């Protein structure tokens, strides 16, 4: 018997229909977008005195998110991880371009993806202004553009001896969520949300302008990312593990040792880790708390190199495995 020809799913559409779906949902209007999706390039206006902050992140199925992740969550997270990089620079988001590689032209998937993207884009007034759509294994590359006034960007290189080390929100939740989901254990909604719908700390990054001496977002794990500040600034950092902020859900789900490992080495939290001089700290901490996302002092900048972690008795702890690294 002849095999039936494979029937195409009804939702499969042409490339331009997919682009239309995306444009309708994500191509928000902003006065500084003179020309958005639809021509060979977008035309964008930058206000005088502002620097353009530009960052790109790629999400690959099976590497950055489990294969069964909902399209809506992937859309949200694609934008969230890029916004987090702008937050870490103290930049205000504006525009994005999206390179989408899809196994099939699945209109349902693209609609859900675009809705997830648009939900977060609306919160931060991000307009999608262009991109590219190709066929291949699922992979999503977003380039985000934002503004920061000249001289106000938060860089990794400004940490000074004696500065405090701080982190916004809580640590370890996303890694805990990933651990529970990969072992098919029941997952508290909070940990699932922290893994699949991270909150970029844009408002907090803006409050850090002119006050934090250095800043990075925690995407690969606290020790690894704070290590980048140390390297760029030519200093060391000493962390008191007893000060690391934990959510009640993390504390309920894991014992002290496992929790500490998740907080120090778990990636994907997208909190901001920053350093600041003591003279500015109390007002800064109050403003951050008022913004709805408090920060916690977790240690200080010291002479030397790299990150040291101490336990409650002041003893040095062995460092957890370094953060996530491709090609490692």
Contact residues toward ligand ADP (CB under 6 A) are 19, 22, 37-40, 98, 100, 128, 130-133
Element (H, E) at 305: none
Q: Which is nearer to ligand ADP, 140 or 226 (CB)?
A: 140
Burial 69-84 (b: 16+ CB within 10 A, else e): bebbbbbbbbbbbbbb
The pairing of strands 236-240 and 306-310 is parallel
3-state secondary structure of 21: helix
12 binds Mg ion (CB under 5 A): no
- Shortest Å distance, C-beta 100 to ligand ADP: 4
- Shortest Å distance, C-beta 40 to Mg ion: 9
- Shortest Å distance, C-beta 132 to ligand ADP: 5
Q: Which is nearer to Mg ion, 143 or 241 (CB)?
A: 143
* Partner that binds at residue 100, options ligand ADP, Mg ion, none, CB closer than 5 to 8 Å by kind: ligand ADP
Q: What is the Cα–Cα distance from 57 to 26, expressed in whole angstroms?
A: 18
- Shortest Å distance, C-beta 237 to ligand ADP: 40
* Partner that binds at residue 40, options Mg ion, ligand ADP, none, CB closer than 5 to 8 Å by kind: ligand ADP
Edge to edge, the sheet with strand 164-168 lists 214-218, 271-276, 164-168, 295-302, 236-240, 306-310, 316-317
- Shortest Å distance, C-beta 129 to ligand ADP: 7
Q: What is the Cα–Cα distance from 205 to 200, expressed in whole angstroms?
A: 9
Q: Which is nearer to ligand ADP, 122 or 286 (CB)?
A: 122
Q: Which is nearer to Mg ion, 101 or 238 (CB)?
A: 101
With residues binned 3-state (H G I as helix, E B as strand, rest as coil), the percentages for the chain, rounded to 5, are 35, 25, 35
The pairing of strands 164-168 and 271-276 is antiparallel
- Please give the full DSSP string across 104-116, using - where no structure is assigned: S-BHHHHHHHHHH
Contact stretch for Mg ion (CB under 5 A) within 52-60, 72-80, 132-140, 188-196: 132-140
- Shortest Å distance, C-beta 98 to ligand ADP: 4
* Partner that binds at residue 98, options Mg ion, ligand ADP, none, CB closer than 5 to 8 Å by kind: ligand ADP
Q: Which is nearer to Mg ion, 100 or 272 (CB)?
A: 100
Q: Which is nearer to Mg ion, 37 or 87 (CB)?
A: 37
Task: Tally the C-alpha atoms within 13 A of residue 67's C-alpha that lie toward its C-beta.
Answer: 3
- Cβ proximity of 132 and 96 under 8 Å: no
- Please give the full DSSP string across 79-100, using - where no structure is assigned: HHHHHHHHHHHTPEEEEEEEEE
Of the candidate residues 15, 132, 278, 290, the single one contacting Mg ion (CB under 5 A): 132
Element (H, E) at 134: strand 127-135
Q: Which is nearer to Mg ion, 36 or 267 (CB)?
A: 36
Contact stretch for Mg ion (CB under 5 A) within 19-27, 113-121, 127-135, 198-206: 127-135
For the chain, how many residues are written? 328
- Shortest Å distance, C-beta 132 to Mg ion: 4
Binding site for Mg ion (CB under 5 A): 132
């Amino acid at each position: 018997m002849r095999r039936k020809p494979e029937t195409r799913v009804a939702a499969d559409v042409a490339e331009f229909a997919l682009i239309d779906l995306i444009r309708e949902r994500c191509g928000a209007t902003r006065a500084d977008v003179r020309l958005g999706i639809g021509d060979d390039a977008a035309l964008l206006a930058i206000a005088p005195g502002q620097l353009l902050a530009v960052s790109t992140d790629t999400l690959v199925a099976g590497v950055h998110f489990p294969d069964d992740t909902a399209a809506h969550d992937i859309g949200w997270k694609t934008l969230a991880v890029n916004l987090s990089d702008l937050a870490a620079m103290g930049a205000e988001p504006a525009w994005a371009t999206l390179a989408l590689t899809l196994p099939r032209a699945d209109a349902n998937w693209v609609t859900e993806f675009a809705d997830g993207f648009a939900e977060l884009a609306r919160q931060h007034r991000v307009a999608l202004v262009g991109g590219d759509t190709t066929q291949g294994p699922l992979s999503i590359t977003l380039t985000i553009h934002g503004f920061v006034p000249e001289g106000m960007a938060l860089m990794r290189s400004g940490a000074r001896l004696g500065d405090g080390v701080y982190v916004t929100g809580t640590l370890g939740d996303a890694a805990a969520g990933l651990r529970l989901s990969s072992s098919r254990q029941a997952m508290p909604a909070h940990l699932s949300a922290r893994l699949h719908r991270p909150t970029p700390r844009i408002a907090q990054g803006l409050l850090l302008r002119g006050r934090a001496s250095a800043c990075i977002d925690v995407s690969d794990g606290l020790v690894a990312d704070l290590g980048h500040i140390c390297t760029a600034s030519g200093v060391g950092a000493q962390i008191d593990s007893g000060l690391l902020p934990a959510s009640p859900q993390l504390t309920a789900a894991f014992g002290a040792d496992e929790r500490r490992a998740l907080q120090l080495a778990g990636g994907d939290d997208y909190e901001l880790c920053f350093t600041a001089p003591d003279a500015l700290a109390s007002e800064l901490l109050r403003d951050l708390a008022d913004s709805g996302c408090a920060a916690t002092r977790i240690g200080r900048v010291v002479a030397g190199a790299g990150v040291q972690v101490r336990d409650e008795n002041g003893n040095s702890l062995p460092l957890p495995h370094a953060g996530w690294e491709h090609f490692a």
